[in-house]
Amino acid sequence: MADPGSAVEVHGTVAAHGAANGKDPDAIIAQIERTRESLADTIDMLAERISPTNSARRLRERLLEEAARPEVRLAAAAVGLALVSVTILKIWGRRRK
| pLDDT (mean) for 1-21 | 51
CA distance 16 to 11: 15
Residue 25 phi, psi dihedral angles, 5° rounding: -60, -35
More confident residue, 90 or 3: 90
Residue 24 phi, psi dihedral angles, 5° rounding: -100, 105
The percent of residues in the chain predicted with pLDDT above 70, rounded, is: 76
Task: Kindly indicate the confidence band of residue 1, based on its pLDDT and cuts at 50, 70 and 90.
Answer: very low
